[in-house]
Amino acid sequence: MKNSNILKTIILLVFASLCGGLIGALVISKQQQKEPEKTPANELVHTRQMPVTAVAFSSAGEPVNFSDAAEHAVSAVVHVKVTGETQRRYSGSNDLFDFFFGNPGRQEYQDYTPTSSGSGVIISEDGYIVTNNHVVDQAHDITVVFNDKTTAVAKVIGKDPTTDVALLKVETDTKLPTLGFADSDNLRLGEWVLAIGNPFNLTSTVTAGIVSAKARTLGVTPNDFGIEAFIQTDAVVNPGNSGGALINLKGELVGINTLIVSRTGIYEGYSFAVPANITKKVVKDLIEYGVVQRALLGIRYIDLNDPDFDDDTYLEKYAEEEKLDVEKLKALKKYKGVYVAEVVENSAAKEAGIEKGDIIVRIGNKDVTAKSIVVEEVGKLRPGDKIEISLIRNEKTKQITATLRNKAGNTDVVSEDKLELLGAKFETVGKELAGRLRIKGGVRITELGNGKLKNHVRQGFIITKVNQKSVASVEELASIINELKRGEGVFIEGIYPNGRRDYVAFEL
């Protein structure tokens, strides 16, 4: 009997305990709903949350379908594999005795063949493929891997460093899947886009994002005539995506993925693409002429939309450097557009009547909300094309029409300048240096950039002969090089200022 009472007592205590715990939990739950506790910042890294499924919706409230566009476009995006020219490098010796005392007999040379890869977009059924210039700039051999894993050898039709666009061609007996160009001017901020490419050699990778900005200027194009009006997106892009497709949800090509801005070298939030309208123009020129027909307006200007323009200290410094009236510059703060700081002689702007001090507020069919708008609108056109311009002069709006010109100051078709393929700047050697080196003349390399000469000579090298023809001036060098065809052999003889002679051979 006594044991039975003890058992009942235990059961009652357990039951009371459970009820108390339940009531306590309910009280705590209510308190949390009223006053949620804040997690200390240093504990956030330990917080685990359940995954949340994000669903994008169209303006009509229906879920956005990325699949149709992705499945259509992925077959038209290719993997571009590049092999550079084989280089011979001195490797030296790792032996400590050799390090301290030297042993010329143990010097070693190794052949090194650089490789890299990127992406490309098929734009015609007969094998034209657009990619980035920086993907194929140093290419000796190019292999294209299609989405079905078949391969083909590609050749370079043309390259344009000013837009970072290049055009390849593969020979094919079958019709290839293609992507058509969209009108990139119709892109809207916040519009969904997909990036397709081969990051880290992960073929046929698709990522999604929105258009974060348009006509973005970054100052990264290494060219005096660089055209930057990038589409900025938050679609994930990484090394290997370069040259790949940026498409809208109709499966149309709106841009060519080109670069990221990153502290680490990998994606950190934003990626940038060359707009389809600029790409399309460059491709047409490369097919038709072999070189881009670059139109120029011929002005130097100040961007009145730049945040720096609101800084009086910046304006005072700028006015001093450019010998301008600082008070007149400050008075321009009320305008939006670009201020014409200089008009180039024999230019389209000069011929059209644009003057120093004018403020360009509209060009083509666009308001000038950034200097990149001017660059983009002019960059879509060729020498000889006309462009409408609205400007403010003496507080009054004026409409003019400018006929664009090339860098030579005329509207003629420009043929390819193959000297640019060497990737260097040159100057004619003076008589004093020529006499000291006992040469009749030559052309000295004053600056060495990306090009055919990069891995063969050092800055300061003096070219004295090309293919056994003597070279005494920059004009003679240009004449000899421009007579050659792409892929033709080039044999250069020359000398360094210290008297050491050297020889260079490569394909143009």
Q: Which residues are catalytic?
A: 134, 164, 242
Q: How far apart are CA 103 and CA 271, in angstroms?
A: 50
Transcribe 412-433 into DSSP letters: SPPPP-GGGGG-EEEEEPPHHH
Closest CA to 441 of 420, 426, 459: 426
Q: How far apart are CA 382 and CA 293, in angstroms?
A: 6
Count of CA atoms in the C-beta half-sphere (13 A) of 44 = 4
DSSP for residue 36: P
Q: How far apart are CA 494 and CA 411, in angstroms?
A: 37
Residues β-bridged to residue 81: 117, 143
Helix 276-289 crosses helix 371-379 at what angle (to 10 degrees)? 30
Which tokens sit at 74? 């992925």
Q: E strands along 128-265, which residues?
A: 128-132, 139-145, 151-160, 165-170, 192-197, 205-216, 230-233, 245-247, 253-260
Which tokens sit at 53? 């499924």
Q: How far apart are CA 24 and CA 35, in angstroms?
A: 16
DSSP for residue 199: G
Q: How far apart are CA 305 and CA 339, in angstroms?
A: 10
- Would you give the distance in Å from CA 73 to the centre of its chain? 21
Give backbone dihedrals phi and psi of 72, rounded to 5 degrees, phi first. -70, -40
Which tokens sit at 351? 């011929």
Identify the helix (H) or strand (E) that includes residue 121.
strand 115-122
Q: How far apart are CA 238 and CA 490, in angstroms?
A: 36
